[in-house]
Structure 1
Amino acid sequence: MKGFVSSRLHPLLALLLLLALIIGAACLAYFLVALACIAFFGVRSTQEFEALLRNPQLSAHGWSALMLMQGLLLLIGFGGAALALASAQGVPWSEYFAPRRPVSGWWLVLAALVIVVSLPAMSGLIAWNADAQFPTFMHKFEVWAREKETQAQDLTRYLTQFTSTGRLLVALLVVAVVPAISEELVFRGVVQKQLTRWFGSYHAGVWLSAILFSAIHTQFFGFVPRLVLGAVLGYLFAWSGNILVPMAAHFAQNAVQILLLYAQQRGALGASYDPDSTEALPWPWMLLSAVLTLGLLRLAYQQFRVPVVPVVSHTLTGAGLVVEGQAPPVGHTLTGHGVEPAPGSPTT
């Protein structure tokens, strides 16, 4: 497959191209959402469409319209842009996002388990970050960040009102499946890969992409927990070499939260459970969670990492292929498959 952009494009230019593709794809997704609202939700003008998205709780179709917009913006705007970049560079999707394939199903389970086990430990980070205080000179930023946090919480609370099993299934698709695919294609599949190329270190690629992953959500009182989550997802991708591994972990993160909310709304978790609480769990639970998470990450590193093949010195001489100073046996020849017995030699 031949692309119209070099696969050796400088990482900065590749990231700028990705940004341009995201903007274009997001515009397309927004247009498709508008068409769907006209066709299915009785929207008759631009003003009605904007009012529907601005105050969805005032419309009978508000929840459906918002879910549709969330899903298409992520699927087309993010996922589509990442795939388009790979195609533009002439690299097959499987090679670009999963150079190490196939992967064992056990790897996907292990990646999901890392995230689930880490949730109690993450509650400590969530509590600490939620109570963060900014310096006096950043007061205006803090006020703005608090407003964005409140808006995000209100939107999440509205979208997670599961009045039926159908709504739960839609939420699992839009809030768990689609972000796991689209965000991982962008942040781990493209951004992390390009930053790793740029700085020559996969650690730099993991942490810088995790910072961008957290910042783009514009929830600064949840910035640190999401940063840590992004780093875990980044290392899972760096170690495994397959985008399906962080996708499985990302899906587990979102799906568990949705299922807990659904269980709470059905009264299965008791009246004391508050899904909006930012309080930390008891420290023994957090400590146990942290220890188990680190142990699972260590196991993941051992299971996923690509073995390093020692570099062996090879020199082609008149005597044949010299391997670390040793010439091959007489009657052997160098072929596309390595050193093999020459046709008609005594060893054949």
Structure 2
Amino acid sequence: MKGFVSSRWHPIVTLLIWAALMLGAFCIGYLLILLLGRSVFGLASLSDFSAVMQSPQRYPQGWAFTMLSQGLLLFIGFGCSALALVALSGSGIVPYFAPRRPIPGWWLLAAGLLILVTIPLMSGLIDWNAHAHFPAFLKDMEASARAMEDRAQELTKYLTQFSSPARFLIGLLVIAVVPAISEELVFRGVIQRNLVQWFGSRHVGVWTAAVIFSAIHFQFFGFVPRLVLGVLLGYLYEWSGNILVPMAAHFTQNAFQLVLLYLQQRHIGNAFNPDSTESLPWPLVLGSAALTALLLLSLRRWLAAPVATDEAALPTEMHTLSSGGAAVTTPTSYVPPMGRTLGRAGIDGSREDSPAQS
């Protein structure tokens, strides 16, 4: 099906169109929140909305309204804008975001296991980044950044006070499920995909998308751990060719922290405090780093191997149009196990001699 957004356009044009769609989606999301706030929560004026959004802990309906607002804005602003871009391109959602399908179910479990293995390593990065300092001439900027992050941390702590199982399930939906779906559709499915095609390099695309992913959270003193997480998610998508794999990893990252918080609040066991910025013991950190590297090497080999399906394409394959027909090509940093070209004689498949490389 031919769409408005052509695959032959420069990737930056596609990204600009998505940015416009995202802006429109956020406007729709805010309008919907205003309507719900007025009809469900009795917020009659914009000043009421502003007051509840800034200090939800002061209002009895603050927790429910803030969770609803965050979930809707993230889903509509990010998730729906990505889906709208796919609709305008004339592609189906599944072929666009998961060209390699079906995939073995253990891939999702392996992605989640990778996140769990990295926890001690991440604690070391969190500790180092939390105690980092700006240059002396930027001390005022550092003070402002820390104040902003303290306010964000205070809000997060309020929203993750689960006084009942129902609140925990709502938190799991808003903080784990919705971000895993919406953010992966955008940062890996749209931004990374187009950056890889723009730069002609999977590595540049993955790292650049990870920088954007971390920066957009506006938390300098958590920038490095989130950057590393973005890189892991990016390579999981590149190697697997299916958006469900980084989604599973992203969900595990957020859900595991929420489960630990809930157990801690219920005084069940001696759970590690996920809010802590202190590093775990260095033997655990070094062991985690070694296991993470080993698991990444294994996942690179397993996920990049051909899947027993006729649709085992990777997400950032590029289509070019020439006089001989449409040819499927990939960035030079990746050699696919099977190349297909469409010419006058039909579809030809030829297997490359060299193995897949990331």
Counterpart secondary structure, 1:83: helix
Cα distance between partner residues in 2 of 1:173 and 1:275:
18
**1:103-160 superposed Cα distances (whole Å, 9 cap, x missing partner):** 1110000001100111011100000000001111222321221122112101110110
Please list, as runs of the form range in 1=range in 2, the aligned pairs for 1:1-348 lying within 5 A after superposition.
1-270=1-270, 274-307=273-306, 308-309=336-337, 336=346
Amino acid across the alignment from 1:135:
P
Please report the TM-score for the alignment, with normalisation by the length of structure 1.
Answer: 0.87
The question of whether the paired residues in 2 share the 8 Å contact of 1:7 and 1:91 is answered with no
Cα distance between partner residues in 1 of 2:26 and 2:92:
23
Counterpart secondary structure, 1:185: helix
Amino acid across the alignment from 1:280:
S
Amino acid across the alignment from 1:199:
F
Shift of 1:277: 1.7
**1:49-102 superposed Cα distances (whole Å, 9 cap, x missing partner):** 222212211111100111011101110000000111111111111111111111
Shift of 1:164: 0.3
The question of whether the paired residues in 2 share the 8 Å contact of 1:7 and 1:90 is answered with no
The question of whether the paired residues in 1 share the 8 Å contact of 2:118 and 2:288 is answered with yes
* Structure 2 alignment gaps of length 5 or more: 307-335, 350-358
Amino acid across the alignment from 2:258:
I
Amino acid across the alignment from 2:11:
P
Shift of 1:311: 6.8
Cα distance between partner residues in 2 of 1:274 and 1:255:
14
Larger radius of gyration: 1
Amino acid across the alignment from 2:297:
R
Counterpart secondary structure, 1:125: helix
Shift of 1:269: 3.8
In 2 relative to 1, CA 56–209 (structure 1 residues): closer, same or farther, beyond 3 Å?
same
Cα distance between partner residues in 2 of 1:173 and 1:73:
14
**1:207-230 superposed Cα distances (whole Å, 9 cap, x missing partner):** 000000000000100000000000
Matched residues, number: 319
Amino acid across the alignment from 1:34:
L
The question of whether the paired residues in 2 share the 8 Å contact of 1:129 and 1:221 is answered with yes
Amino acid across the alignment from 1:216:
I
Indicate the percent of aligned positions where both proteins have the same amino acid: 56
> What RMSD, in angstroms, separates the aligned Cα atoms of the two structures?
2.0
Please report the TM-score for the alignment, with normalisation by the length of structure 2.
Answer: 0.85
* Structure 1 alignment gaps of length 5 or more: 317-333, 340-348
In 2 relative to 1, CA 337–55 (structure 1 residues): closer, same or farther, beyond 3 Å?
closer
In 2 relative to 1, CA 52–306 (structure 1 residues): closer, same or farther, beyond 3 Å?
same
Counterpart secondary structure, 2:207: helix
